[in-house]
Structure 1
Amino acid sequence: MRIDGHLDLAYNGLNGRDLRLPLEALRASDPVQGQIATVSFPELRTSGLGLCLGTLFALPQTPDSPHGYTDAAGARAQALAQLEQYRRWEDEGLIRLLRSRKDVVGHLESLDSLHDGAAPLGVVLLMEGADPLRTPDDLPWWAGQGVRIVGPAWGATRYAGGTDAPGPLTALGRELVGALRDLQLTVDASHLDDAAFWDTVEIGPRLIASHSNARALVRGNRHLSDDMARAVAATDGVIGLVYLSSFIEDGWQDGQAGTPLSGLARHAAHYAGLVGWERVALGSDMDGGFGAEKTPAGVGRYRDVFALGEHLPAGENAGVLGGNWARWLSTHL
């Protein structure tokens, strides 16, 4: 069973990428400039991926993204469009939206009973950055649509300090995290700044880090410190590994050859030494704002993601490549 904890499928689909195409055809017509696509539905089927956490990611306005959102209404509109994209794909039989533990268990059982590629890709919805929530009162509606995991931050949001944007939870953020706890939903700690992270721990929700590498190996608040990794594990959470070279090798620069895949295995082993191999999984973020031009050496398309197993202890491969997410989802979703 192969599971990825972080794929921006609908975001890419609404950026004009037709993920129904074979990867070579997608690359030939790719409207996204400067990124070499690695993900399409035929490519995911060939890889053996059976389930993923698929994001609802609203892009804020930045100098590089002048058409991003500037307020809650704009963020909500992006997330709603992505939700509709997932529903269209489900109608086409390409994916199956999984909204509960029962759905996950049934999907995993169906994958075990069918030949590879015969079942649609299972997708659990994860909201990356909480700005699409106009207020925390919106949370029950989104939960009703299938969102089971929310990351309060990306950069800074109205809810929390985030990547390269230090700060705590805001008053709205504290209210949101409390609501996630009370609804038995999960906080994705990826992108939370340290101050916001520890505020979240104090409130006490269940945690995962869908796509975060180890700060002990790469500097910056985008990555988890050792104490943060332990805090995620203390809630029975899982940590997903990211396939971006600059998140794997400290000091890696755009234009350099991809870092060796063994470097990502170092992050896996570091986490395992802190919290056990059963907490280590994949959160590849493939095509999440980067493509094959920035992935590790030898990872030129999605099917290559699972070559990581060759660099892991033999007895831990199955867990890291999918079994650990399967356990967590079957227990906590």
Structure 2
Amino acid sequence: MSRGSDQPADPFASPIFDAHLDLAYNASLGRDLTLPLPELRAADPVTGQLATVSFPELRAAGVRAAFATLFAMPAGPGETGGYRDHAGARKQALAQLEQYHRWEDAGHVRLLTRANEAREVLATPDGPLGLVLLMEGADPVRDAADLPFWVEAGVRVIGPAWGATRYAGGTDAPGPLTGAGRELVTAMRELGVTLDLSHLDDAAFAGVMEAPPALIATHANSRSLVPGNRHLTDEMARAVADSGGVIGLVLLSRFLRAGVGDRVRVPPEAVLEHARHYAELVGWEHVGLGTDLDGGFGAEKTPLGVERYADVPGLLDLLPAEVRAGVAGGNWARWLLGALG
């Protein structure tokens, strides 16, 4: 990414802030993210997904901070792995939380819960990667009364759905907020926990909007360009902007062009199409990155030219020069400083 004299002087604008990385989940698969990427790839226990993310790789790309997920994988039909109830989901999330603490103890990351911590990390190029905990799919939360436990543990953003959860309909699983979901959303609003609209079904979104907490979309492309309830409608995008939130762009090819199968890699310009659509709809200040790289797919399904995370900054060169720094990380950084207080 070029960093010419047209870049803003804002010290929070130049670094990359990625709003969605499944770091601890990847570690649970046996990936050692402390390795340089070539070494990780050489020893990768995950087959069929060419890894793009490791801590040295993120540092080389200029990533200063990210939302890092607590993601519990549900069991599929006939599968023995994955969770089948709240206890199983909670066990996965707690194991991932412990992984983040081990990385923090080793100096690889710093968990961020307050604005002063975020400000320090964003202004320190050589420091550890700053992470804000995001729960993707709320099944690890027992009920609304359990939410303070997770807030105390550092969770600042929750996406109620992935597929369907006990709280809401989600991707390829239409449905409204459940009674428990309405109680959880109320508790999130009262405790200042931000709601991630990514994966949330339309009917559940309608329930959220009856009395919404703060809204963002960490990793969600536009349904105006790619059909399906995995993506944001224009109404959802406007709701994020009206809340002062930001939308993160996902780098999975089939989420970028309609009708694209898993064996097709789209041109990098497809990312620009979604960015421009959101910018025309709500303004560039509400557009950011939420790459979801290594979130169940690898370099074999990214846009052409993105072979590893260090290639991500090159995508930003497709954007108008005056908005690159904001989309790279400045927009998320400013949102985070306001949200953490």
TM-score, with structure 1 as normaliser: 0.96
Is 1:98–2:106 an aligned residue pair?
no
Which amino acid is the alignment partner of residue 208 of structure 1? I
Query: Secondary structure at 1:169's aligned position in 2?
Result: coil
Q: How far apart in 2 are the matches of 1:43 and 1:229?
A: 31
Counterpart position of 1:261:
268
2:286 equivalent to 1:272:
no
> Residues 55-94 of structure 1 correspond to what in structure 2 (within 5 A)?
55-63=69-77, 66-94=80-108
Aligned with 1:289 (options 291, 296, 319):
296
Contact 2:110 2:130 survives alignment (8 Å): yes
Partner of 1:173: 181
Question: Structure 1 pair 189/319, CA: closer, same or farther in 2 (3 Å)?
Answer: same
Q: 1:16 is matched with which residue?
A: 30
Shift of 1:102: 2.2
Deviation at 1:240, TM superposition (A): 0.2
Measure, in 1, the Cα distance between the counterparts of 2:273 and 2:43.
36
Secondary structure at the aligned position of 2:245 is classed as coil
Amino acid at match of 1:93: G
Once residues 126 and 108 of structure 1 are traced to their aligned partners in structure 2, the CA distance between those partners, rounded to angstroms, is: 18
RMSD over equivalenced CA pairs, Å: 0.9
Aligned equivalent of 2:139: 131
Q: Deviations over 1:94-133 (max 9, x none)?
A: 0000012222122223x2xxxx4x2100000000000000
Distance 1:68 1:46 in 2: 33
1:318 aligned onto 2:318: no
Instruction: Please give the residue correspondences for 1:113-262 in structure 2 after superposition, counting only pairs within 5 Å.
Output: 116=125, 118-256=126-264, 258-262=265-269
The CA deviation at 1:64 is 8.3
Amino acid at match of 2:94: L
Q: Note the C-alpha offset of 1:63.
A: 3.9
Aligned-partner Cα distance in 2 for 1:323–1:79: 29
Alignment partner, residue 335 of structure 2: 328
Q: Any idea what SS the aligned residue of 2:281 has?
A: helix
Cα displacement string for residues 215-264 of structure 1 (whole angstroms, at most 9, x for unaligned residues)? 000000000011110011111010000000000011111222x1011111
1:65 is displaced (CA, Å) by 5.3
Partner of 2:43 in structure 1?
29
Please state whether the residue corresponding to 1:255 is helix, strand or coil: coil
Paired AA for residue 16 in structure 2? R
The whole-number CA distance in structure 1 between the counterparts of 2:68 and 2:78 is 24
**Equivalent residues of 2:137, 2:162 under 8 A apart:** yes
Q: Deviations over 1:140-168 (max 9, x none)?
A: 01100110000000000000000000000
- Unpaired stretches in structure 1, ≥5 consecutive residues: none
Distance 1:326 1:64, change over 3 A: farther
CA contact (8 A) 2:121 2:129 kept: no
Distance 1:190 1:66 in 2: 27
> What amino acid maps onto 1:253 in structure 2?
G
Shift in Å, 1:10:
0.2
Q: With the length of structure 2 as denominator, give the TM-score of the two structures.
A: 0.94
SS in 1 for 2:210: helix
The CA distance in 1 between the partners of 2:78 and 2:260, in whole Å, is 21
Q: Deviations over 1:250-302 (max 9, x none)?
A: 1111222x101111111000000010000000000000000001000000000
Distance 1:6 1:65, change over 3 A: farther
Secondary structure of the structure 2 residue equivalent to 1:160: coil
Q: Give the structure 1 partner of residue 9 of structure 2.
A: none
Displacement of 1:134 in angstroms is 1.1
Aligned sequence identity (%):
62
Corresponding residue number in structure 1 for 2:12: none
Q: Distance in 1 between matches of 2:149 and 2:328?
A: 32
* Alpha-carbon distance between aligned partners in 1 of 2:200 and 2:315, rounded to the nearest angstrom: 26
Unpaired runs of at least 5, structure 2: 1-14
Alignment length (residue pairs): 326
CA distance in 1, matches of 2:132, 2:313: 20
